[in-house]
Amino acid sequence: MLSKILPKNEHVVDRAVRVVLGLGLLSAAVAGPHAWWGWLGVVPLLTGAMGSCPAYTLLGVSTRKSEPRLAT
């Protein structure tokens, strides 16, 4: 059921960029200038870790390569 709500729709590179961006923003909130907007880094960090972007799901977008189907 969870795979229908949050399907995997991010490519490996997309996921890596999201995680790095999220960690960068969080470091700005914790160790940097203590900006409140740095806490927005939680969003790309979580979506990158899960491999699923809710906005992609709503828009019907996927950066993940489709897996080859087995011949039946």
pLDDT tens digits for 31-67?
988 888 999 999 999 999 999 999 999 999 999 987 6
Query: Does pLDDT of 25 surpass 90?
Result: yes
Going by the DSSP 8-state scheme, the letter that residue 38 receives in this structure is: G
Question: Can you say how many angstroms the Cα of residue 45 is from the centroid of all Cα atoms in its chain?
Answer: 6
Q: Residue 67's pLDDT is what?
A: 66
pLDDT at 68: 62
Residue scoring higher pLDDT (35 or 69): 35
Nearest Cα to Cα of residue 38 among 27, 47, 52 = 27
Q: Give yes or no for a contact between 34 and 1, defined as CB atoms under 8 angstroms apart.
A: no
Return the pLDDT at 33. Answer: 84
Residue in this structure with the two tokens 């977008």, named with its chain if needed: 61
DSSP 11: -
pLDDT at 28 over 70: yes
How far is residue 67's CA from residue 71's CA, in Å, rounded to a whole number?
13
